[in-house]
Every structure is written in structure tokens, then in C-alpha cells.
Structure 1
Amino acid sequence: MAEIQLRNLSKRWGSFVGVDNFDLTIADREFLVLLGPSGCGKTTTMRMIAGLEEVTEGEIWIGDRKVNDLEPKDRDVAMVFQSYGLYPNMNVYDNIRFPLKVRKVDKSEHDARVMKAAEMVELTDFLHRKPAALSGGQRQRVALARAIVREPNVFLMDEPLSNLDAKLRVSTRAQIKNLSHELQVTTVYVTHDQIEAMTLADRVVVMNAGVVQQVGSPTEIYDNPANTFVAGFIGSPAMNLIDGHLAGGRFTAQGTEVTGLKGPDGPVTLGFRAEDATVSNDTSGQITAPAYSMELLGDATMVTVRVDGQQVNVKASKEYRAEIGDTVSISVPPEICHLFDRQSGARIAV
């Protein structure tokens, strides 16, 4: 059992708050992703779990043990870093085997465990090579195998894909997803890439400036963002957000008018996803503006307009065509819209 409890966890350096009152239970075998921009506190949280960073306030429990005062080696966690951290003088086999030697695992077990871990990450043909003779993706797989061979209670992964090119990121992401299914080990994964978070996580924790903004499944966070920060961070492209005014169910902003909405009168931010709106070349929609940009994506066409100085993106069909500068009309049905309080940024529940 490797349930992790983070009880009112905080980390401060003088007056600077890195993590503020983080309170969460991570279920046994759950794949939890900490997501947010640089400096939001996600890596600091992971380092506190690992024992690499001292806790200012709060408690960390792994299973039935409070681990605040335990050394990293005694917490039974395995880390995979952004920098692969391989030993250049050792071949792949010995790099993977190294944690077993350090932990004084019986030598009779070494070969079987190394081969099993290498097979899981498809490295059996590269065991004799040194790290310098490997590609970035292969080096990251060695780092994964070195964590797997430990058979820990918890995996901690700190942006393990950020050094890889786009194509390798996709294939290695799929490999991590498959490994988590096979290994069934509690995993905490740090990333600033919301696509990684959406594809890998059982639950996502969105953080900003050391504070948890929202915790939920990828679907919950995508469909019902708690505030404008989450709405503007999750999604590719992020949710369109337009500042305006709501009165009697009618939202108005420069170049925008949407009726049939539910919410209190006053200043609000209207949000909607690019794929939920539609675009045409007439003037029947709620937003009419000149096309600012047209991007062919293969399966769709991304149409961008500027409304009151803000960019608004809409995904049209791959056949849709318009020239930059042509007037386009965007239809925004009220049922696809989200409303947020202008002052606090919080979602308005209706």
C-alpha cells in the first residue's frame, strides 16, 4: 500500500512562499500529475515528497509512515529527472543495475530484474552501449528502467520528457502510460505541458504561485475549469476568454454579443473552447471580425480573430477557407459558454 498524504504542506524561504498549504491524498496506484507554469511550486512539492527539500510546515505520509524526518533512501521512492543522471563510464546494463548494488539486493536477483526492466522499456538490444552512444529518448528509457528495477512503492517523475523532441515525446509518453498500467505503482509526475497531463493522469493538480487552483480528472478540469487561470492554461489552444458585461442574460463586449446566458448581472469574463464554436463567412454569429490568422492543422483549420485586443480561436473544418482580413462570423451558442467573475476569476456556478 503506497497511499501518499500531503497534510497542509508548505515550503518557505524567508518571506517567499514556494508551496502554500498543499493538502491532498494521493490514492494507492494513482497516477497524479502536478501541472503548472515554471515557478508554481510543483517541483518543490515533489522534492519534499522525495526528501530532497525540507518541509517548512505540514506532514508527508507514505503508507502508514510519516516520512518528514526520513532520508530520501529510506522513503522507498524512485525518481526520474529531467536530466537523465546516467553514469557515463557505465554501460546501460550497469546503469540499470546500479540501484540494486547500492541497496545491497542479493546478486542472484540482479540479472533477472535488470533484464525485466530493460525489456519493459525496449532496451534489451542496447545493454552493452554507453550513454554517449544513445539518443535522448534511449537515455530517458534507461533512466526509467533504473527506476523500475528498484521496484519502489512510489515513482516520482520530474519533467522526464522535456529534453526530448516532439516526436520522441509522443512515443515516450505512450510508453510511460503503458508502464503505469503494467506496474500499478503510485506515481507523481511533474510537468508544465498540459497535453502530458491530460493524456497521462488519473487526476491533475493545477498549481499557480504555490497555490493549488484545482484538483480533478483531466475531463473535469477541461470541461469545468475552476477559474480563469485554469481555463487559460488547459487546452490547446487554451479557452477563449473575453471580458465584458452581463445584464439580463445578455453578454456584451466590443464586437461580441451572446444572449440566453444564466448568471448575475455585472462585469464577467465569457469563456468558450475553440472546438465548441463554429465559423462562417456571413454575419449571422455573435462575434464578427476580420480574420487575423488562418492555420491549416491537417484535421481542421484554426481561425483566429482579434476582439477588443484579445485573440479568439475557433476550429473550423479542414475544408474551410478565408483570407486574412476577410470578415468572418463566429457562432457561440449559450450552452457552450462558461462565465467567470471578473474580479476573482472564479467560475460562476449556474
Structure 2
Amino acid sequence: MAEIQLRNVGKRWGSFVGVDNFDLTIADKEFLVLLGPSGCGKTTTMRMIAGLEDATEGDILIDGKKVNDLEPKDRDVAMVFQSYALYPNMNVYENIRFPLKVRGIDPATHDEKVRRASAMVELDDFLHRKPAELSGGQRQRVALARAIVREPNVFLMDEPLSNLDAKLRVSTRAQIKNLSHELAVTTIYVTHDQIEAMTLADRVVVMKQGVVQQLGSPTDIYDKPANTFVASFIGNPAMNLMDGTMSGGTFEAENVRVEGLHAPDGPVTLGFRAEDAGLGDAGHHEITAPIYTLELLGDATMVTVRIGGELVAVRAPKDFRSEIGDTVSLSVPASICHLFHAETGARIEA
């Protein structure tokens, strides 16, 4: 059982605010992802939970017990870092075993624990090798096994996949997902990669400049972004956003007209996702513009047009054929649109 409570936690260095008033309860066995760009405070938040940084304000509780003043080793958390932090002079077996020796765990149990952890991450054939003889993906799996062997209350993972190439990232991501299901241990995972967040998380915390922008399931955050920052950060490609004016339920901008919307008159930002729009249904052309670029993705063609100063992407069928510069009509019905306040960027609920 490991419920983690962050009560109005903050971190400041002089006048610089790293994390501001972070308030959250992470349920036992939950997989929570902290997502945001570099410098948004996600790693600082994790390091405060681990005890590697002191919180300037607020309380951190694990299982109802305040841990602010506890040393990292007394918090029963295991961290997996972006850099694998392995001991080069020890083989894989000894690297995985090391936390057991440090914690004074009965040596008679070591072999069984090490072999169980290595089997979980498929390292049985590499136990005799030194880290220098391993690939990046194998090293990261040693780091995972070293965290697993401790049987901690909480796993903390700080961008563990960012040093891996694209193919390894996918397979290691699947392994982490399966491990979290098998181990059923509370996990906090830091990343700037929204695909990792969407695929791994039970809930996602989107952060910007030390402040939580939105908290919810991956589906909530994708389908109903709380503001334009979240809308532009989640999704591949990100949500299309256009500034324009509402008048009597109609949104208008350069070469754009969408009717049937519900928002007060005045300046607004309209958003829609590339996969929700279509290419020119008869009599339903909300946007007409020349093609800026075409990208064949294999399962689809991404068509990008330029409207005003913005690039707008639409997902077309894979057999769509056209040329850069050709004029296309995009279908953007009101039902797929999201509206945001022009000044604050906050979502306008219909």
C-alpha cells in the first residue's frame, strides 16, 4: 500500500519558482505521469518525493506518514534515471544485487530475488556481462531490474526512455507497461514525450512553468484539453489552433468560417484535431487554402495548409494524391471544434 499525498508542495530558489503549490493525491498502485516541456518542474517534483530535493513549502506524505524530513533511503522509493547509473566494474548480476547488499537484506535470499528481477526484464542471458558490453536498451533494463529487486513501495522513473532509439523506446515502453501491471506498485513517471504519457498513464499531470495545467486520464486530456497550452502539447500532430472572432454563433478568420458554435461574441481561439477534420465534403467547406506540404505516413497522408500565419494539418486517406500549391477544401463541422478564450487560453465549455 503506497498512497502519496502532495499537499501544496512548492520549490523555490530565491525568487525563481520551480514548482508552485502542487496539490495532488496519487492512489495506491496508480501509474501517474508528470508531463511537460523542459524546465516545467516535473523532475523537481519527483526529486522532492524521493528526498533528493527539499520542498520549500508544503508536505509530502507516503501512506499517511509525513516524509519531508526523511532521508531518501528511508522513504522506500526506488528511482530509475535517464542515465542508467550502473557500476562499470560490476557485472549485471552484481549491479542488480547491489541494493540488497546496501540494505542489509539476508544474503540467502539474494540469488532468488536477483534472478526473479532479471527474468522480468529478460536479462537472464546477460547476468555475467559488464555494462560496457551491453546496448543502451539492455542497460536501461538493468536499471529497471535494480529498482524491482528492492521491492519498494514506490517507483520513480525520470525520463527512462529518452536515451533509447525509436524502436527500442516502443519495446521498452511495452515492457514498463507490462511490469507496472505485474508489480502493481505506485509509479510516478516523468517525461516530455506525450506518446509515453498517453500509452502508460492511469492519470496525467500536464505542467508548465511549475504550475499544474490539467490533471486527468489520457482520454480526458486528449478529448477536452483545459487550455491552449495542453491542446498544443498533447497529440501528434498537436491540435490545430486558429485565432478569430465569434459573432452570433459563427467563427470567422482569414479563409475560415465555421457556423453553429456556442460561445460569446468576440475574439476566440478555435481548435480541432487533424484526424477529426475531413477533406471537402460536398457543400461543407469551412476552410479553403493552398496545400503547404504533404506527408505520407503509411496509414494516412497528412495534408498541411497555411491559413494566416498558422499551419493547419488534416489527416487524409493514404491514397490521397495532390501537389503542393493545389487548393483544397477542408471540412470542419462545429461538432469537432474546441473553443478557448483568446486572452487566457482557457477552454470555453459549450
Aligned partners of 1:321 and 1:34: how far apart in 2?
40
- Equivalent pair of 2:80/2:158 in contact (CA under 8 Å): yes
CA displacement at 1:285 relative to structure 2: 1.2
Distance 2:284 2:201 in 1: 40
Task: Indicate the SS of the match to 1:48.
Answer: helix
Letter in 2 for 1:84: Y
1:280-291 to structure 2, matched below 5 A, reads 280=280, 284-291=284-291
Task: Work out the CA distance in 2 between the residues paired with 1:260 and 1:64.
Answer: 50
Q: Give SS of 2:348's match.
A: coil
Deviation at 1:149, TM superposition (A): 0.1
* Structure 1: distance between partners of 2:150 and 2:65: 19
Alpha-carbon distance in 2 for matches of 1:149, 1:321? 54
Tell me the matched-pair count.
Answer: 350
Q: Unpaired runs of 5+ in structure 2?
A: none
Deviations 1:116-160 (A, max 9, x none): 000000000000000000000000000000000000000000000
Match of residue 330 from structure 1: 330
Give, in angstroms, the shift of residue 280 of structure 1.
3.8
Alpha-carbon RMSD across the aligned residues, in angstroms, is: 0.9
Q: State the distance in 1 between where 2:151 and 2:282 align.
A: 61
Measure how far apart 1:281 and its partner are.
9.5
| Aligned-partner residue type, residue 142 of structure 1 | V
> Residue 83 of structure 2 aligns with which residue?
83
Using the size of structure 2 for normalisation, the TM-score is 0.99
CA distance, structure 2, for counterparts of residue 203 and residue 137 of structure 1: 26
Amino acid at match of 1:37: P
Residue 234 of structure 2 is matched in structure 1 by 234
- Equivalents in 2 of 1:182, 1:264: separation in Å? 49
Aligned partners of 1:281 and 1:328 also within 8 Å: no
The secondary structure found in structure 1 opposite 2:207 is strand
Match in the other structure for 1:255: 255
Q: Is the 8 A contact 2:281 2:331 kept in 1?
A: no
Q: Assess if the C-alpha contact under 8 Å between 1:2 and 1:186 holds in 2.
A: yes
- 2:301 paired residue number: 301
2:33 is the counterpart of 1:63: no
**In the alignment, is the contact (CA less than 8 A) between 1:18 and 1:210 conserved in 2?**
yes
Query: Match of 1:276, as an amino acid?
Result: D
Structure 1: how far apart are the matches of 2:288 and 2:282? 9
**Structure 2 partner of 1:25:** 25
Classify the secondary structure of the residue corresponding to 1:5: strand
Kindly indicate whether the alpha-carbon contact (under 8 Å) linking 1:282 and 1:328 is maintained by their aligned counterparts in 2: no
Residue identity in the other structure for 1:344 = T
* Match in the other structure for 2:119: 119
Matches of 2:122 and 2:2, distance apart in 1: 27
**Whole-angstrom CA distance in 1 between matches of 2:59 and 2:179:** 29
- Secondary structure of 2:115's aligned partner: helix
Partner residue, 2:173? 173
Deviation at 1:236, TM superposition (A): 0.3
Alignment of 1:164 with 2:156, yes or no, is: no
- In the alignment, the residues of structure 2 paired with residue 178 and residue 312 of structure 1 have an alpha-carbon distance, to the nearest angstrom, of 36
Is the Cα–Cα contact under 8 Å of residues 88 and 132 in structure 1 kept in the other structure? Answer: yes
Pairwise mapping of residues 146-161 of structure 1 onto structure 2 (< 5 A)? 146-161=146-161
Mapped contact 2:77–2:153 kept (Cα < 8 A)? yes
1:133 equivalent in structure 2: 133
Aligned to 1:279: 279
Partners of 2:263 and 2:17 lie apart in 1 by 35
| 2:79 partner SS | strand
CA contact (8 A) 1:283 1:328 kept: no
Q: What is the alpha-carbon distance in structure 2 between the residues aligned to residue 243 and residue 203 of structure 1?
A: 30
Letter in 1 for 2:261: L
In structure 2, C-alpha distance between the alignment counterparts of 1:19 and 1:180, rounded to whole Å:
27
Output the amino acid matched with 2:255: G
Paired amino acid for 2:242: I
Taking structure 1 as the reference length, the TM-score comes to 0.99
By how many angstroms is 1:64 displaced? 2.2
Instruction: Give percent identity, aligned residues only.
Output: 78
- 2-structure distance, mates of 1:19, 1:167: 33
Question: Over residues 182-231 of structure 1, what are the superposed CA-to-partner deviations in whole Å (9 max), with x where a residue is unaligned?
Answer: 00000000000000000000000000000000000000000000000000
1:199 equivalent in alignment to 2:214 = no
Distance 1:148 1:206 in 2: 27
Aligned to 2:219: 219
Q: Which amino acid aligns with 1:17?
A: V
Match for residue 245 of structure 1? 245
After superposing on structure 2, the runs of 4+ consecutive aligned residues of structure 1 that deviate more than 6 Å are: none
